Structure 1
Amino acid sequence: MTMTTQPTVLKIMVIDDSSTIRRSAEIFLTQAGYQVVLADDGFDALAKINDHHPSLVFCDILMPRLDGYQTCALIKKSAKFHTTPVVMLSSKDGLFDRARGAMVGSSAYLTKPFSKDSLLAAVREHTAEAMSK
């Protein structure tokens, strides 16, 4: 029996104050073979990001305490995580939200409710460079 080396499992963080969104993202990502780290707001995410070193972060915009823009800006200002792609999640599909997300350093914008396909496409698109390192 030959031992095959397992490909590195990508770790993906999902930050959303809605347990429904967190749960559906977790199901889609786990089924696709990713490891998932969940956080229910920006503070929770910032506490967990150091321990888990996710390859990609999905971040809701409208959250209590620390909103998605502030959370994304803090991740991008961090010396350790400034290259980690952050995809903003929002139920609003406005130009202003997209522009503001881009200003704080987000890589992309996904409108909720997202489909399994759009979520996984975003993962593939934004983790390709992480896989090639």
Structure 2
Amino acid sequence: MSSLKVMVIDDSKTIRRTAETLLQREGFEVVTAVDGFEALSKITEANPNIIFIDIMMPRLDGYQTCALIKNSERYKNTPVIMLSSKDGLFDRAKGQIVGANEYLTKPFSKDELVDAIRKHVKS
């Protein structure tokens, strides 16, 4: 499990740093991006095993980013976990429509992140 590469996309520096620190302590390699555009440029180089995406971001939001990833032949099977401070039914449904594998509500815990990785990434 520890050789897995995790991508965290969030416009909040605090969220990126928190997720990065929590996951690195668990032995994961972490790549971060501030928004969907940066993520799309980094994804081919990083080739992550799983991607965590914030929904509310400038330029390219999490739903649009997830849809682009899932429409890519190369990354359509890469698990995408949506991160949001909103916990509404509409938000969860929209995440499923664009292909998200799971939906975590902020603030998230280390256990929630690690459980999502274990659940969606086959070692």
Percentage of identical aligned residues = 62
Structure 2 residues not aligned, in runs of 5+ = none
RMSD: 1.0
Q: Distance in 2 between matches of 1:123 and 1:81?
A: 16
Structure 1 CA distance, aligned partners of 2:114 and 2:44? 24
The higher radius of gyration belongs to: 1
Whole-angstrom distance in 2 between the partners of 1:114 and 1:38: 17
1:9-48 correspondence to structure 2 within 5 Å: 9-48=3-42
Q: Take 1:110 and 1:8, find their aligned partners in 2: how far apart are those partners?
A: 21
SS at match of 1:28: helix
Q: Distance in 2 between matches of 1:114 and 1:33?
A: 18
Q: Which moved more, 1:82-91 or 1:112-121?
A: 112-121
Give 2:94's aligned amino acid.
Answer: R
Counting matched residue pairs gives: 123
Equivalent in the alignment of 1:3: none
Match in the other structure for 2:80: 86
| TM-score, normalised with respect to structure 2 | 0.97
Aligned residue for 1:67? 61
Distance in 1 (CA, whole Å) between partners of 2:90 and 2:2 is 37
Unaligned runs of 5+ in 1: 1-6
1:80 partner amino acid: R
Task: Give me the TM-score of the superposition, normalised by structure 1.
Answer: 0.90
Distance 1:121 1:74 in 2: 25
Runs of 4+ aligned residues of structure 1 deviating over 2 Å after TM superposition are none
Q: Does 1:56 align with 2:80?
A: no
Q: Is 2:8–2:30's contact at 8 Å kept on the other side of the alignment?
A: yes
**Counterpart contact for 2:2–2:28, Cα < 8 Å:** no
